[in-house]
Amino acid sequence: MPKAPSETEKQMQSRARRILAKLKKEFPDARTELEFADPFQLLIVTILAAQSTDVTVNKVTPGLFRKYPSPEAFARARPATLEREVHSTGFFRMKARAIIEASRDLMERFDGEVPADMDSLTSLRGVGRKTANVILSSAFGRPGIIVDTHVRRCSQRLGLSRNKDPDKIEIDLQRLIPRKDWSDFSHTLVLHGRYVCTARKPRCPECQLQDLCPTSRENAGA
Ligand code: SF4
Give me the CATH number covering residue 56. 1.10.340.30
pLDDT at 17 over 80: yes
Q: Which atom of ligand 1 is nearest to the CA of 208?
A: 6
Whether 1 maps to a domain, the answer reads no
Whether 188 maps to a domain, the answer reads yes
| DSSP 8-class letter at 179 | G
Rounded to whole angstroms, the Cα distance separating 14 from 155 reads: 15
Instruction: For 142-152, give one letter per residue: b (16+ CB within 10 A) or e.
Output: bbbbbbbebbb
Question: Which of 157, 188, 194, 206 is the pocket-test mutation for ligand 1 (most atoms within 8 Å of CB)?
Answer: 157
201 is catalytic: no
Q: Last residue of a domain, which of 121, 140, 159? A: 140
Q: Note the pLDDT of residue 33.
A: 84
Which structural domain, as residue segments, surrounds residue 168?
9-30+145-219
148 is catalytic: yes
Give the model confidence (pLDDT) of 46-81 as tens digits: 999 988 989 999 999 999 999 999 999 999 999 999
- 172 & 90 share domain: no
3-state SS assignment for residue 187: helix
Q: Note the pLDDT of residue 3.
A: 45
**31 or 136, greater pLDDT:** 136
Q: Which of 130, 172, 181, 184 is catalytic?
A: 130
pLDDT at 1 over 50: no
Whether 124 maps to a domain, the answer reads yes
Give the amino acid at 202: P
Q: What percent of the chain has pLDDT over 70?
A: 95
Residue with CA closest to ligand 1 atom 2: 204
Q: Last residue of a domain, which of 105, 140, 175? A: 140
Calculate mean pLDDT across residues 163-191.
95
| DSSP 8-class letter at 50 | T
Whether 123 maps to a domain, the answer reads yes
pTM of the model: 0.86
- 89 & 123 share domain: yes
CB atoms within 10 A of CB 14: 13
CB-based pocket (< 6 A), ligand 1: 154, 157-158, 196-197, 202-204, 207, 209-210, 213, 215-216
pLDDT at 4 over 70: no
